[in-house]
């Protein structure tokens, strides 16, 4: 019997008894790599001098992987709502937005959801609840929209009768966000974020970052040299 086929989920080891030999040359190279990483570790938050504070919200957690890449690239928070977000989830969001507003920024939420009765209502509900929590926020619904469905020739189906909002729905066939190509969704997300990002302010930030990194590196060098002096 192949023992790898079995898993004991009730017991686990803590730590290990290390008995492998170390090579001084390997350790030196690893140390150099770590020092180099520390030297290059200084970066300013790319949104720190921006006028806007932006987060992206998506209706479906299943699409999280599609939106993670552009959000990470642009250093923007991503909130998968799984339908209507809970009050607890929105309360946590309200704290982030209020902190940004206190820092002089405008709170922006970019929303991507299905084209159906609930998908259209969710961003309205989110904005209403956040405003009740004291957040002055702009919620922008970016997808799916009727013109996008027509432009991309996306297939639609009748709205679900189980959705209580269907009786007031006048938008015709419904389309899920999943019908859009992942690459297209990622680009839509990236482009939307870019609309709220001031490139001139970012250029100024990079100049400051370059100067501060020089000071940071010099300080680390002096610290390392001081350690050598103590050893002597």
Residue length of the chain: 232
User: Is the pLDDT score of 232 beyond 60?
Assistant: no
- Three-class secondary structure of residue 40 per DSSP: coil
pLDDT-wise least confident of 14-23, 51-60, 120-129, 190-199? 14-23
Query: pTM of the entire structure?
Result: 0.81
**What pLDDT is stored for residue 19 in this prediction?**
82
d(CA 159, CA 156): 9
Mean pLDDT of the chain: 90
Q: DSSP readout, 163-229? A: STTGGG--S-SBB-GGGS-HHHHHHHHHHHHHHT--HHHHHHHHHHHHHHHHHHHHHHHHHHHHHHH
Confidence of residue 117 (pLDDT cuts 50, 70, 90): confident
Q: What is the mean pLDDT of residues 152-164?
A: 77
**What pLDDT is stored for residue 229 in this prediction?**
63
Q: What percent of the chain has pLDDT over 70?
A: 94
Q: What percent of the chain has pLDDT over 90?
A: 63
Report pLDDT digits (tens) over 131-141: 999 999 999 99
Report pLDDT digits (tens) over 26-72: 999 998 899 889 888 899 999 999 999 999 999 999 999 999 999 99
User: Is the pLDDT score of 3 beyond 80?
Assistant: no
Domain residue spans of the chain: 52-201
Fold of 52-201: Dna Topoisomerase Vi A Subunit; Chain: A, domain 2 (3.40.1360)
With 0-12 / 13-18 / 19 or more C-beta atoms within 10 angstroms meaning exposed / middle / buried, residue 47 is buried
Of 15 and 159, the one with more pLDDT: 15
Pairing of strands 52-58, 106-112: parallel
């Amino acid at each position: 019997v192949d023992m790898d086929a079995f898993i004991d989920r009730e017991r686990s080891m803590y730590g290990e008894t290390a008995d492998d030999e170390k090579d001084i040359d390997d350790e030196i190279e690893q140390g150099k790599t770590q020092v180099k990483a520390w030297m290059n570790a200084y970066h300013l938050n790319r949104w720190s001098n921006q006028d806007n504070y932006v987060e992206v919200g998506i209706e479906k957690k299943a699409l999280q992987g599609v939106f993670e890449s552009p959000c990470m690239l642009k250093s923007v928070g991503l909130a998968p709502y799984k339908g209507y977000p809970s009050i607890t989830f929105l309360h946590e969001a309200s704290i982030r937005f209020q902190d940004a507003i206190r820092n002089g920024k405008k709170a922006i939420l970019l929303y991507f959801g299905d084209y159906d009765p609930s998908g259209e209502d969710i961003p309205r509900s989110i904005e209403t609840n956040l405003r009740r929590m004291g957040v002055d926020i702009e919620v922008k619904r970016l997808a799916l929209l009727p013109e996008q469905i027509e432009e991309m020739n996306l297939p639609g189906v009748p709205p679900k009768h189980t959705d209580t909002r269907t009786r007031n729905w006048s938008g015709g066939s419904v389309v899920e966000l999943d019908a859009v190509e992942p690459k297209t969704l990622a680009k839509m997300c990236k482009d939307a974020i870019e609309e709220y990002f001031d490139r001139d302010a970012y250029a100024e930030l990079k100049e400051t970052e370059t100067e501060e990194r020089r000071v940071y590196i010099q300080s680390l060098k002096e610290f390392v040299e001081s350690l050598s002096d103590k050893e002597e």
